[in-house]
Amino acid sequence: MVELETTVIEENFIGADLAKFGAVIDDEDSYGYIISGNNVVVYECVKGKRVKILTHDAPVVGMNLGFQKLICYLQTGERIWWNLGDYSIELVTKLPINSIEWVYHVRGGTILLEKSATGEYLLYNTEGTNEEELQLLVTLPNKIDHPKNIALGEDYVVYAVHDTLTLVPFEDSKVPRSSIEVVLNFGESVIPDRLKFTELKIVADNLFAAHSLGRIYIWRQVKCAGLGKSNKYFFHAADNSLTFDVSEACNVYVGTAHSHLTKWNFLNEAGGRWQSKEAITHFEAPLKKVSLSVSCKICCVVLEDNSVIFCKTDSMTILGKGRTLLHSQFYPLHTMQVDPLNKDLIITDTRFGSIQWINPVKWQTIKTADIVLENSVARKIYCSDFEAVKSIVYLFTATPSYIVTAEKRSCEIKEVYIKFWRRQVKGKNNLLLQLEDVICVCEDITKITGELEKGAMFEESTLGSNNAHSNAEFLTSNSDGTINVWKGDAQRFGKWRKDTQRYGKWQGTEVVDITSIRGNVFASVHTSELISAHLILWSTTSMKILHFDNSLSQLHTIKWAPTEYQKYLLAGSAEYVGCFNVETLGYNWLVEQKGLFVYSDLNSAFAYDDKNILVFDVESGALTEKKNFKNAQSRMVCTLHGESRAYSGLSEEGFSLIKESDCLETNEEDNRIQAPKTAFSKLVEISRLHANKGKNSIVLFDNVRKAKELLNGPVFALAPLTQLAPLFINSCLIKKNVV
């Protein structure tokens, strides 16, 4: 095989798994720092803008801020000092430790956690020691499940093993050793082995312990009273496992499986009860991690879909949403396609019921679209395995004029909902969707495809118009091998219907792969236990077979070649890749390559296996380019960014990217996501520009706080409505004042 060298850059998992360690937030500059593998992602909290990505040679396991410096601790035992003025490395030191598993911060300094060869946990103090020696504070047993089950006070540590908490004092500490077992009996309604503590925190000599049942237990004055029953309290924050953080004033911010962030206070006038009076509800996914800033003015929450949201704690309002790539282990991706309307964007499914547009070079989700049109689904209840019914978008296809989706329920109901979305263009925003029709079928739909090129020739103003609508057709294939035609019908109320007169099925075989429609012709690959793989050409006009070919055994992939090669099909089998000519009804060329799949869209075509990308000349079959990923990938696509190409691969760990060296990432705002402006909003914008010329706008939350204070107390003692109403409206709008 010919080796072709090109200057390329490979990037892996940037911005992934942001919930593992939580965020460090600078209150003064309103910047948030979040660990993602070997990187630290820097966000501007108010606008959500991703400012910088700080790259390291090893996984980052902890951070802390101080004096315009960000100190990062690497798993390999190195400590990196970043200058936040110009984001340059000032100092690198190697600590005398084999590896760092976790980093804890207490008033006395920074504590490092090392896991020994025997599995024991060793805690070291980094403050007040030289770099050649660390002070060993305590050794903990190897039966601790996770570093989150360890919490440090000033002179003691508490760890959890299942439902038992143990306090271990440091050397020379006068705190007595103690332990407590919290036994709960709920009969058969829960699984007893799953009742355990999941996360611990110590603030101001108070121990906060999250329980998998949805409770948070509190032990007060631990130094004096230890872990006893007399100083134990709890409140039930949710009905499922949760995550939390605690402020210096011992306010508890709880992220729940029901997509809520709740603020809990201990009120003396409430008879010793914990109460939650404030909350932010209806996040787009369950909360995975909650982190508070040093002054506790800003709270950063990371959702299960890898979304990052910054909130203001005093008013419990959202400041900004960080730009991330929405992919996590909770939501495996089913479908990946390059948007035919935006050749630099990839469309995938994301959290339950949504799809997203990804710019792979920027490592960002540009926009999401709610397909299911339902509230976010709660996480499965850990203690009982109860799981709510979810709607999953498991198939879709995108054309320049439409997106067609298929969704099903996570239950025994086998109905599939096919939704037809008309794409709209307003200004530069071409990522808008409008639902046209929903059709429910009792069929196991396995593939959806449409016509990519006819709509691509329309002007922007005609996208989604009746002209495009009346000519639009889509194909679906079922598990029984039936291929159905779905046709746009402007005369019908729903504007879409299945054409019952046009369908195809060949000798009871299964449809292995199917192409898009080109010139009223499409191709499919059929096989069964008794019949070898056949390539079949169909006419969409009559759904009659035009030709079938079985010259290539074990055929599994068939795609139309890019637009400039109208007559060619690209095929992949267990032994060969080749080019089939639909005019001569034969293969132009075959190249012997084992185990290759074929990818092709309107602009690009290549063959690939789990790591290698092979680009062949469509006319001759000559190998023109070769690239390879370091790690195995399950799927690959190619996007165009100006004159450069970028290859994206997807594995269980996340996304990987191979790009040309001149294909650079920028922080510029994507103008395709700008909200469409109405006539009224344009007038308001013009008025503000004239009124606020030369002035800086700041957001004030004073009115929000005053309105809440006026609403406290019994009804008969409240202020008159004429005073409450304006304040209430201002609190809802979060009025902008100019200074």
Q: Which residues span the domain enclosing 448?
A: 336-673
Please state, rounded to an integer, the average pLDDT across all residues of the chain: 87
Are 663 and 716 within one domain?
A: no
Q: Is 424 domain-assigned?
A: yes
* Encoded amino acid at 731, one letter: S
CA angle 491, 496, 499 (to 5 degrees): 100
Are 667 and 719 within one domain?
A: no
- Last residue in a domain, options 644, 673, 702: 673
What percent of the chain has pLDDT above 70? Answer: 86
Whether the per-residue pLDDT at 33 is higher than 50: the answer is yes
pLDDT (0 to 100) of residue 459: 39
**If pLDDT is split at 50, 70 and 90, which confidence band does 65 have?**
very high
Dump pLDDT digits (tens) for 327-376.
998 998 999 999 999 999 999 999 999 999 999 999 999 999 999 988 88
CA angle 409, 412, 415 (to 5 degrees): 55
pLDDT (0 to 100) of residue 684: 62
Whether the per-residue pLDDT at 739 is higher than 60: the answer is no
**If pLDDT is split at 50, 70 and 90, which confidence band does 671 have?**
confident
- Last residue in a domain, options 654, 673, 692: 673
Whether the per-residue pLDDT at 688 is higher than 70: the answer is no
What CA–CA distance (Å, rounded) separates 58 from 75? 6
SS3 114: strand
- Complete DSSP assignment for 343-361: TT-EEEE-STTEEEEEETT
Are 637 and 518 within one domain?
A: yes
Are 660 and 692 within one domain?
A: no
Q: What are phi and psi of 203, to 5 degrees?
A: -135, 125
User: Computed from CA positions of residues 266, 267, 271, 276, in that sequence, does the dihedral angle turn out positive or negative?
Assistant: negative
Are 483 and 630 within one domain?
A: yes
**If pLDDT is split at 50, 70 and 90, which confidence band does 291 have?**
very high
Are 612 and 688 within one domain?
A: no
pTM: 0.87
Burial of 172 (0-12, 13-18, 19+ CB in 10 A): exposed
List of E strands, 451-585: 473-478, 483-488, 496-504, 510-514, 521-527, 534-539, 545-549, 555-560, 568-573, 576-581
* Encoded amino acid at 199, one letter: E
Question: Considering its fold, how many domains does the chain have in total?
Answer: 2
Are 614 and 537 within one domain?
A: yes
Are 701 and 729 within one domain?
A: yes
Question: What tokens appear for 548 in the block?
Answer: 């079938």
pLDDT (0 to 100) of residue 460: 40
**If pLDDT is split at 50, 70 and 90, which confidence band does 463 have?**
very low
User: Computed from CA positions of residues 284, 289, 290, 291, in that sequence, does the dihedral angle turn out positive or negative?
Assistant: negative
Burial 647-671 (b: 16+ CB within 10 A, else e): bbbbbebbbbbbbbeebebeeeebe
Q: Is 95 domain-assigned?
A: no
Are 579 and 704 within one domain?
A: no
Are 541 and 665 within one domain?
A: yes
**If pLDDT is split at 50, 70 and 90, which confidence band does 461 have?**
very low
**Of 213 and 671, more confident:** 213
Which of 211-225, 242-256, 712-726 bottoms out in mean pLDDT, i.e. has the lowest? 712-726
List of E strands, 78-163: 78-83, 88-94, 102-106, 109-115, 121-125, 135-140, 150-152, 156-161
Is 605 in contact with 621 (CB distance < 8 Å)? no
Q: What is the CATH number of the domain that holds 355?
A: 2.130.10.10
Which stretches within 339-495 are classed as H helix? 466-471
pLDDT (0 to 100) of residue 471: 73
Average confidence (pLDDT) over 318-333: 92
Are 690 and 547 within one domain?
A: no
- Last residue in a domain, options 617, 648, 673: 673
Q: Is 121 domain-assigned?
A: no
Burial 541-559 (b: 16+ CB within 10 A, else e): eebeeeeebeebeebbbbb
Dump pLDDT digits (tens) for 620-663.
999 999 999 999 999 999 999 988 999 999 998 899 999 987 77
Q: Is 729 domain-assigned?
A: yes
Q: Is 77 domain-assigned?
A: no
What CA–CA distance (Å, rounded) separates 593 from 7? 25
Q: Is 427 domain-assigned?
A: yes
Q: Is 66 domain-assigned?
A: no
Are 394 and 451 within one domain?
A: yes
Q: Is 317 domain-assigned?
A: no
User: Computed from CA positions of residues 66, 70, 72, 78, in that sequence, does the dihedral angle turn out positive or negative?
Assistant: negative
Average confidence (pLDDT) over 409-418: 89
- Complete DSSP assignment for 653-698: S-EEEEEETT-----PPPGGGPPPPPHHHHHHHHHHHHHTTT--EE
